[in-house]
Every structure is written in C-alpha cells, then in structure tokens.
Amino acid sequence: MFSFSRLRSKRDGQTDPKGTISTSESENDILIEDLNIYYSGKKAVDDVSMRIKEKSVTAFIGPSGCGKSTLLRNINRMNEEIVGCTFDGRILWMGQNILDRKVDPVSLRRRIGMVFQKPNPFPKSIFDNIAYGPKLLGIRNKKELAGIVERILKDAALWEEVKDRLKDPAMGLSGGQQQRLCIARALAVEPDVILMDEPCSALDPIATAKIEDLINELKKEYTVVIVTHNMQQAARISDNTGFMYLGKMIEFGRTQQIFERPKEELTEKYIRGRFG
Amino acid sequence: MNTGGYLRGRRSPLTKRVSGLSERAVITFLFLASSAAVFITIAIIYTLVEGTFNFFSFEEVKLFNFLFGTGWVPSGRDPEFGMLPLISGTLMVAGGTIVIAGPIGIGAALFLSEYAPFKLRTFLKPVVELLAGIPSIVYGFFALFTIGPLIRDIFPEATYFNVLQGVIVMSFMVLPIIVSISDDAMKAVPRYLREASLALGATKWETSFKVVIPAASSGIAASILLGIARAIGETMVVTLAVGSVAGFHFNFLKEAQPMTSYIAQTATGDIPPGTPAAEAAFAVALVLFLLTFLINRIAGRIVFRIKKGSMAKREPSFLKKKALEIKDSILKKDTMIEEETVSRVIRIDRSKRSIPEKGQDRRLRIRHIKGTLGASLSALCLVIAVIFLIYLLYDVFKGGYGVISWDFLTGEPGWRVSELSIMPAIMGSIYLMLLTLVFAVPVSVATAIYFNEIARDTFYTRFIKRMIQNLAGVPSIVIGLVGLTIFVRLFDLGTSLLAGSLTLALMMMPIIVVSSEEALKAVPQSFREAARGMGATRWQTVKDHVLPNAVPGMITGTILALSRAIGETAPILFIGAIFAKTAPNGVMDSFVALPLTIFYWSRQVEEYKPFAEGTILVLLAILLTMNAFAIIIRYRSQKRRDW
C-alpha cells in the first residue's frame, strides 16, 4: 500500500504556496481550449478550457448530467460514436490538435485508453480479452501474446487471481475483477493516457479500494483522468480536481485546494453537500 | 340531507362473486378456443401416422429400403421406395440455399445493424421484408423462366429443370428470415461492448467482425437454422423449377426431386390414390415434418433466449459454472471475494514495451482499407437483395401487363389460349380469403386473449404456446395433406371451397395468434391495473380497456396474415381445381385460385407464360393493396393514440 500522506507531501512540493497548479508545462499535458460539446444542437459542455497534467490523476466531479462524462469522452473522441453529438474547440496533446479531422480516432484511442462505468469485458476468455488489443496491432505470436497477457495482468494486480483460469470466460469473474480486467485490457495496447468514466460506481467498497490502489500506481507512468460522483474518492486519489456544473467548468485546481478552500461559491456548496 | 351516494343501493356483499355466469361462459369459450392448437396438432399427427401406416402395410414397401434405398421409382411395374434420392434432393436445395443466403444475409444484417444510418435503415428493412411477402409460386415462376435460361446460357449442360435455379431463387426467399433475425441478434449486442472495442483503438469493421458477430453468433446460427428449415419445407419453387424425377446425385445442374416436390407430385400428377405411390407422400411428409420440427425447435430456443435478453451479458452456462466450481475446488480455492485479497499492486514499469511502434502507420492504413472493403462488401449484400427484388418485379411486370384486359379479368374462360380469363380464380381467391378469415380469426384472437389476459403461466399454457410455435413451422405442403385427409376425406367435404378455406385457416392460425398477442402486449399494463383496481372483472377489463386499444394492431396483423394466405399454393394443391368456368356459387363448390392458376399455367406450353405473368401481376396487386391497407391502419392508429 502507498502512504497517502507521503504522496500528498510530495505533491505539495510541486505546487507553489498560493495553491495554484504548478506552472511547469509539458507537451504531454492535455490542453483543452474553448471546448463546446452539443447533443443534437443542445449544449452539454460549455466553453471548457483546462490543462490536464501528465502523469497525474485529474478528477472531474459534479452532479449528474453536468457534462463531466461527456467532456471525458471527447478526449479520445468516443463522442463521435454517438449520433447527433458535435463539438468545437481544441484539445492539444503531443503538439497536435487531437480533435482535428486529420487525426485518426483509431490511432488516437490506442494512445488514450478508456475504462467505462460498467465493467464491460468481451464475452470471450480472460486471455482473449487482454490479447484483443495487441492482436489488432499485429502481434500474432502465441508466446509473445502470452508474455504480454502475463505482464499486463500483473500490472493490473489480477495475475494471482486468474493465472489458473486464463481460458475461462471473463464473465465468470466478480465485478471488481471484471473492472480490473477492463483496466488491464486498456493497458495492453500501451496507451499514454487512461480515461476512467466512474470506474467504481458498480463495485463494492473492497473492490473499489483495489482499483484506487491501482490508480495510484498507474499515475506514475500514465496520465489518468477520472470522472467520479464520489467526492471522497476524488479527494483520496486525485491530484487535481475540476468541478463542473451545467456544462461549465466552474473551478479547476489542486485537489486539496478545491476541497479545503474552494474559490467559487457553487463549488463550496457542492462540496459541503448543500446542493439543490 | 342525502348522505348516501348514488351507488349506495347497488353495493353487494363482499362474499358475492361479481363475475357471473356470462363472465364464466366467456372465459370457458376462450379456454376452449385456445385448445384448438391441440386439435390441429392431433390432426397433423393423425394424418401423417395413419398415412405412413397405410404405406408400410403394402407388401412391396420395406422400412429398411425406405430409409436407405438409393432408388425412388414410385410407379411402374417394379416400384422402388428408397428415400435417399429425395433426401439428397432436399439436402442439395437446403445446403445450396444456405451457402448463398447465409453470407449475403449476414452481410446485409451487419450493414443494417452497424453501418446504415437510422433513416436508411427504416427504409431498407421493409424492402428486404418485402422479399418475404412475395408468394413462393412467384419465386418458382421466376426461377423457371428467368433464372433458368440464364443458367443454361452459362452452363450449356444444365437441364431444363435443375437444382441451381431453384437454389438461387430460394436464397432470396429465405434471405429476409436470415437478415431480420441476425439483425435482431446484432442489435441486441450491448453498446458497451462496441465502445470497449472502439476505445481500444479498433476500427469499426474490426469491432463489427471481432466483437459484434461473435457476440451475436448464436442468434446468427438460429437465423441460419430457420433459413434451412424454410428451404427444406418450401414446395412451390422446387416443384416448378427443381424437378420431379428423383435421382441420387449431387449435381446442381441436373434435375432432382426434394421431398416436398414428391408430395406435391402426388397432388398434381397421375398417381392414383390408394396406391403405394400415393401413400408414400405421407411417409415422406412424416420425415419432412420431423426434420423441420427438430430444426425449428433448436432455433426457436435460441431466438427465445435472445428476445429475453440473456444474450446481452452471456453468463457461462450452468454446466460450465459447475465445471468451474469443481476446477476451483480441486485447486483448493475458495470463493471469489476471498481471492480478491490475494493480489497486490506491484510496481508498473512501462519501459518494457512489447508493441513495436515501427510499421504501425502502414499497418493502420491496411486496417482502414480492410475496414472500408468490409463495409462495402456488407453494403453490397444488401444491394444484391434489392436488385433481385427490383428485377423480379420488373420482369413480371414487363411480361404480364400486356395480357391484362377487361376480358382477362372478368370474362368467362374457355379452354383455348385466346379465351383465358382469371375471373373464377380472382373470385375463388377472394371467397377463400373471406372464409379463411371467418374460420381463423375468432379462434386465433380468442387464443391470444386467453394466453395474454386470462391464463396464468402454468404447464398447460406453456405447453400450448409451444405447440402454436411449432405449428407455425410446419411446412405448408404438410398442412395440405392434413386438409386432404381430415377435411376432404374424413369430414367428407370433398374438394370444396369449405375444405380449402379450413385448410388455409389451419395454416394461418398460428400467425394470427402471434400477431394478436403482440397487439395485446402493446397495451400498457397500467390500463389493466386501473380497471382491475376499480373492481372490474377480468373479462370486463379485457373487453372495455384492452381490446379497444389492441384492435388496430390485430387488424393489421390479420390483414398481413391473409395476404399470405391468398398467395399460398401448397396447402390447397390437393383441394383446388384445375379449371372452372365460373366463380364458386356456394361453400361446397369446387374452386380455382390465383396461385393455383399460376402454377398450372407455368407447366403448360410457352404460350401460357404471359398469362401466368398477368395473373402474378394481379396477385401482387391484391397483395400490395392489402399491405397498404395494413400500413395505413397501423399508421393512423399510432397517430391517434395518446399513450
């Protein structure tokens, strides 16, 4: 387990005394600029601009329907799969506007993986679930695939539990195991960013704790963006937090600051649970 | 002051049953009607078993030879009754049909389910279903006169009757079954599985091909099975186009005789009744019945599972779960929850990369090209189906519209080609349809009401429901034999309009039951609860609140079923007459019908062909009108309804 306090102090070292986000900028940060998202013309995300720092955990919180999932789904352009969803604005990453038509969503999604609210393993074996992505990318050698599956399952802290039943259907796993399998599956294509859309909402507290541990470990190597309706979870695992309301990013800053000294009245109301 | 309400005097004691005699009478009637399926099933089994028994009581017939003999020469001095030639004929037709219709159907379903935008889909699906609405006699005609010459051009060694032309046309006949059930199965694959695949960087084609199709595989398998069952049971196409000389071979360019074709031959040929050759039809029909029953049963179970939605998240089957448990207990592992505490998060080291970055760009281009190819191919499948439909309609129209005249439609026919008229056939078909309506609708609607509104889920109701499902899959030529045995011979109705319409009613009953049940199910449960909550009895609830809202749906379903009945040839093949100078005057008169007329004229000399085409045009026009009515009724009731 990781010491929560140690992490926090380390993070504090990166920020300046005022509590604003560190100004050190990297090309690997995800820079969202003036992003608007519409469902059949109706605005769901309203003029959001923000910088998501690499190798950190960024959480989006807010009441249901505030647009946090919609915003998340735009980062790997999953919104394009929804009929009637349109967007404008820019998301800069690795020196490119990834919303540009010239950027291929297929290769983008390989670099920016996603984990969904409901565990959604394919109705295949555990092995085939993990191997699906690498196979798409042209790895056919059985031995090589077996090596990848083992390494990835170890990364996702699932190996010990499933190593004797890799050929069994993934649907036979418990909910928490299924969700870690889905995280593992996302890791198997070696992305740089992992988007998580309320990954623990369907899980029990024990399973949730395991996923949070995993997220803590993941952020050393990956940029993690997580949507959660659970404020405690955001406080526990994230470095930066954005509060959204009615499609607008009301406040975005260091997690500690958002939860302890929110600048906006709306944020404070929400944090304190005094919300319409 | 008057404190009593206006209903005060009408209060009845709580112990008194409100549902009086009439209520119980109605429910008894509904119950009896629902048992009709049992009688139909008994009639089928009686017909087939009795006929088969008669067949085997002839001394020249041996069971072993019947099952394994390779010669089928039913008449003549030295008759042989070896079924294998008939089986090989059926196998060729069904197998060939599936080889063509399977890939095209799955491709078209994939396009409809995954690629077609909503508007295109709502336009294309009815077009494909239109293929199912065209009577089989029209397909047979098209196979013999349009596809046939084409095949003989390409393969000069092909005979006039051959398997291939039947197979090609039959493929498009079964296509709607495959497309619509596969499409349902693919649509039932949950969205989150597609998203999981796309989010991993799969292309749309990869997602469709590697996730959607495997997840829908059992539904696709069911659609193929139902397609096979339909091809095995289909009569008119094979009778017209595949041939009537049995031969044990697997040459698609030669003539063959499938089982249904032999049964039809006993109705039309010169086989005298009471001979082994005639009784053989019953034995063949029994084999056919069992075969289609088996296939439909298997497919039906799968489709039922899809409709219930258990395909969405496919849990391992019970046996598999047990196997897993045993495996776990051998490995000395306990429940999953405890297992979860086993693993620890270990340090993630991303420096160990396995996927080479080199060459990924080129690979991606190839993947996209594959995707475009795949999507175009699946679109092509649909285009082929639509082109076939348009060509068929165009071809019939081109050939037929020239002969349509007032005399042709209303005149009194003579025997010469110049004096042909279809007036008796039109009238025969209309009377047939009206009588079928009278016989089939009350019983079917009552059955549907009984199952959906009155009966509880008991062993008996499940048994009957399954029976009705099975009846829907009985090949039409088998129903024809049942009509012959039960109505014509047992009830001594002769080859009359009455016997013909009763036979068609047998055929239509399961269809009308199913569509009426759907109409009843569409009425919201809250309507029933509201009525029952005010103290209405079950029948009052149905009569006043459920039925009025279900009637438009029932009418639509009934019209569609009747439009099928009017196009059916095989069930009335044994009963209808070849020629009639006038329209039937009473229910005991003999009759001709439009599809029968097409059938007989297709087997005459070439001069009759345009007249057959003209008759097809008239038949299609009637069908189209009926379908248009059904659609208008559905549209208007949907527009008017406020729930």
Whether residues B348 and A157 touch (CB distance < 8 A) is answered with no
Q: What kind of architecture, by CATH, is found in domain B14-57+400-643?
A: Orthogonal Bundle (1.10)
Predicted confidence (pLDDT) at residue B501 exceeds the cutoff of 50: yes
The predicted structure's pLDDT at residue B636: 85
Dihedral sign from CA coordinates of B371, B374, B376, B379: negative
Using CB atoms, pick whichever of A121, A132, A190 lies closest to residue B353.
A190
Predicted confidence (pLDDT) at residue B270 exceeds the cutoff of 90: no
Q: State how many domains chain A has.
A: 1
What are the Cα distances from residue B35, in Å, to A273, B28, B291, B297, B463? Answer: 62, 11, 25, 21, 11
Whether residues B343 and A133 touch (CB distance < 8 A) is answered with no
pLDDT confidence tier of residue B4, bands split at 50, 70 and 90: low
Shortest distance between the Cα of A263 and any Cα of chain B, in A, equals 35
Query: Do the domain assignments include residue A25?
Result: no
Predicted confidence (pLDDT) at residue B16 exceeds the cutoff of 90: no
Task: List CB contacts (< 8 A) between A178 and chain B.
Answer: none
Whether residues A171 and B316 touch (CB distance < 8 A) is answered with yes
pLDDT confidence tier of residue A229, bands split at 50, 70 and 90: confident
**Residues B93, B95, B96, CA angle at the centre, nearest 5°?**
65
Instruction: List all residues of chain A from 220 to 239 with a beta carbon under 8 Å from chain B.
Output: 220-222
pLDDT confidence tier of residue B17, bands split at 50, 70 and 90: low
The predicted structure's pLDDT at residue B300: 81
Predicted confidence (pLDDT) at residue A23 exceeds the cutoff of 60: no
Secondary structure (3-state) at A241: strand
Closest CA to A28 of A223, A197, A186: A223
The C-alpha atoms of residue B565 and residue B503 are separated, in whole angstroms, by: 10
Whether residues B340 and A158 touch (CB distance < 8 A) is answered with no
Whether residues A172 and B206 touch (CB distance < 8 A) is answered with no
More confident residue, B109 or B8: B109
**What own/partner pairs with CB < 8 Å and gap ≥ 24 does B292-297 have?**
B292/B229, B292/B232, B292/B233, B292/B473, B292/B474, B292/B475, B293/B470, B293/B473, B293/B474, B295/B225, B295/B226, B295/B228, B295/B229, B295/B232, B296/B225, B296/B226, B296/B229, B296/B469, B296/B470, B296/B473, B297/B470
Does the model's pTM come out above 0.90?
no
Predicted confidence (pLDDT) at residue A5 exceeds the cutoff of 50: no
Task: List CB contacts (< 8 A) between A138 and chain B.
Answer: 359-360, 363
Express each pLDDT in B618-636 by its tens digit. Answer: 999 999 999 888 888 888 8
Whether residues A221 and B313 touch (CB distance < 8 A) is answered with no
Whether residues A133 and B200 touch (CB distance < 8 A) is answered with yes
The C-alpha atoms of residue B85 and residue B71 are separated, in whole angstroms, by: 7
Q: Which residues contact B462 (CB under 8 A, 6 or more apart)?
A: none
Express each pLDDT in B364-409 by its tens digit. Answer: 999 999 999 999 999 999 999 999 999 999 999 998 888 888 888 8
Task: List CB contacts (< 8 A) between B350 and chain A.
Answer: 190, 221-222
List beta partners, residue A125. A169
CA-based end-to-end distance of chain B: 42
pLDDT confidence tier of residue B8, bands split at 50, 70 and 90: low
Kindly state the tokens that stand for A214: 């995993």
Find the mean pLDDT for residues A161-179: 90
Which is it for strands A193-197 and A223-227: parallel, antiparallel or unpaired?
parallel
Whether residues A83 and B345 touch (CB distance < 8 A) is answered with no
Q: Say which residue the tokens 């469902």 belong to.
A: A39
Closest CA to A218 of A176, A156, A158: A156
Kindly identify which residue of chain A lies nearest to residue B364, measuring between CA atoms: A107
CB–CB contacts below 8 A, A to B? 154
The boundaries of every CATH 1.10.3720.10 domain in chain B are 14-57+400-643, 62-330
The C-alpha atoms of residue B571 and residue B136 are separated, in whole angstroms, by: 12
Secondary structure (3-state) at B474: coil
pLDDT confidence tier of residue A157, bands split at 50, 70 and 90: confident
The predicted structure's pLDDT at residue B446: 94
Task: List CB contacts (< 8 A) between B210 and chain A.
Answer: 132
Whether the CB-CB separation of B378 and B107 falls below 8 Å is answered with yes
Shortest distance between the Cα of B323 and any Cα of chain A, in A, equals 10
Using CB atoms, pick whichever of B193, B200, B350 lies closest to residue A113.
B200
Least confident of A245-249, B199-203, B355-359, B487-491: B355-359
Query: What is residue B253's DSSP assignment?
Result: T
Task: List CB contacts (< 8 A) between A79 and chain B.
Answer: none
Task: List CB contacts (< 8 A) between B215 and chain A.
Answer: 122-123
Task: List CB contacts (< 8 A) between B362 and chain A.
Answer: none
The C-alpha atoms of residue B596 and residue B289 are separated, in whole angstroms, by: 23
Using CB atoms, pick whichever of A159, A171, A221 lies closest to residue B343.
A159
Whether residues B363 and A138 touch (CB distance < 8 A) is answered with yes
The predicted structure's pLDDT at residue B366: 93
The predicted structure's pLDDT at residue B274: 80
Task: List CB contacts (< 8 A) between B347 and chain A.
Answer: 217
Whether residues A186 and B199 touch (CB distance < 8 A) is answered with yes
Shortest distance between the Cα of B324 and any Cα of chain A, in A, equals 8
Secondary structure (3-state) at A84: coil
A137, A164, A211, A220: best to mutate for the B interface, most B CBs within 10 A: A137
Closest CA to A74 of A107, A119, A38: A38
Residue A121 lies in domain: 30-69+84-271
The predicted structure's pLDDT at residue B420: 84
- The interaxial angle of helices B609-640 and B547-567, nearest 10 deg, is 170
The predicted structure's pLDDT at residue A16: 41
The C-alpha atoms of residue B164 and residue B253 are separated, in whole angstroms, by: 6
Closest CA to A196 of A160, A163, A217, A223: A223
Whether the CB-CB separation of B583 and B429 falls below 8 Å is answered with no
Using CB atoms, pick whichever of A109, A123, A165 lies closest to residue B199.
A109
Find the mean pLDDT for residues B235-249: 91
The C-alpha atoms of residue A158 and residue B346 are separated, in whole angstroms, by: 10
Dihedral angle computed from the Cα positions of residues A119, A123, A124 and A127, in that order, rounded to the nearest 10 degrees:
0
Whether residues B348 and A151 touch (CB distance < 8 A) is answered with no
Specify the DSSP element, H or E, that contains B511.
helix B497-521
Secondary structure (3-state) at A96: strand
Phi, psi for B367 (deg, rounded to 5): -60, -40
Task: List CB contacts (< 8 A) between A134 and chain B.
Answer: 354-355
More confident residue, A48 or B79: A48
List beta partners, residue A88. A36
The C-alpha atoms of residue B499 and residue B493 are separated, in whole angstroms, by: 6
CB atoms within 10 A of CB B58: 15
A129 touching B (Cβ < 8 Å): no
Find the mean pLDDT for residues B209-230: 92
Task: List CB contacts (< 8 A) between B355 and chain A.
Answer: 134, 137, 139, 189-190
Kindly state the tokens that stand for B107: 């491709």
Query: Do the domain assignments include residue A242?
Result: yes
Express each pLDDT in A135-153 by its tens digit. Answer: 998 888 999 999 999 999 9
Task: List CB contacts (< 8 A) between A190 and chain B.
Answer: 350, 353-355
Whether the CB-CB separation of B143 and B240 falls below 8 Å is answered with yes
Q: Is the ipTM of this complex over 0.90?
A: no
The predicted structure's pLDDT at residue B350: 65
Mean per-residue pLDDT over chain B, rounded: 87
A141 touching B (Cβ < 8 Å): no
Kindly state the tokens that stand for B318: 């019970």
CB atoms within 10 A of CB B529: 11
Express each pLDDT in B511-541 by its tens digit. Answer: 999 999 999 998 998 899 999 888 888 888 9
Closest CA to B472 of B438, B515, B439, B443: B515
Kindly identify which residue of chain B lies nearest to residue A115, measuring between CA atoms: B196
Express each pLDDT in B435-486 by its tens digit. Answer: 999 999 999 999 999 998 888 888 888 888 888 988 988 999 999 999 999 9
Whether residues B313 and A123 touch (CB distance < 8 A) is answered with yes
Task: List CB contacts (< 8 A) between A158 and chain B.
Answer: 343
pLDDT confidence tier of residue B637, bands split at 50, 70 and 90: confident
Dihedral sign from CA coordinates of B218, B224, B226, B229: negative
Query: Do the domain assignments include residue A21?
Result: no
Kindly state the tokens that stand for B388: 């076939």
A172 touching B (Cβ < 8 Å): yes
What CATH number belongs to B62-330?
Answer: 1.10.3720.10
Find the mean pLDDT for residues A36-58: 92
Express each pLDDT in B337-368 by its tens digit. Answer: 444 445 555 566 666 666 777 777 888 999 99
Closest CA to B447 of B117, B92, B33, B29: B33
Express each pLDDT in B29-66 by its tens digit. Answer: 999 998 899 999 999 999 999 999 999 998 888 888 89
Q: Say which residue the tokens 């009301």 belong to.
A: A250
Whether residues B348 and A218 touch (CB distance < 8 A) is answered with yes
Whether residues B331 and A120 touch (CB distance < 8 A) is answered with no
Whether residues B315 and A214 touch (CB distance < 8 A) is answered with no
Task: Give percent of chain A above pLDDT 70.
Answer: 90
Whether residues A114 and B199 touch (CB distance < 8 A) is answered with yes
CATH code, A64: 3.40.50.300
Kindly identify which residue of chain A lies nearest to residue B318, measuring between CA atoms: A172
Whether the CB-CB separation of B223 and B246 falls below 8 Å is answered with no
Kindly state the tokens that stand for A36: 């608007």
The C-alpha atoms of residue B573 and residue B522 are separated, in whole angstroms, by: 37
pLDDT confidence tier of residue A6, bands split at 50, 70 and 90: very low
Specify the DSSP element, H or E, that contains A173.
none
Kindly identify which residue of chain B lies nearest to residue A122, measuring between CA atoms: B193
The predicted structure's pLDDT at residue B495: 87
Express each pLDDT in B303-340 by its tens digit. Answer: 777 666 544 445 556 666 677 667 666 655 444 444 44
Using CB atoms, pick whichever of B193, B331, B364 lies closest to residue A104.
B364
CA-based end-to-end distance of chain A: 38
Whether residues B340 and A174 touch (CB distance < 8 A) is answered with yes
Query: Do the domain assignments include residue A14?
Result: no
Kindly identify which residue of chain B lies nearest to residue A213, measuring between CA atoms: B345
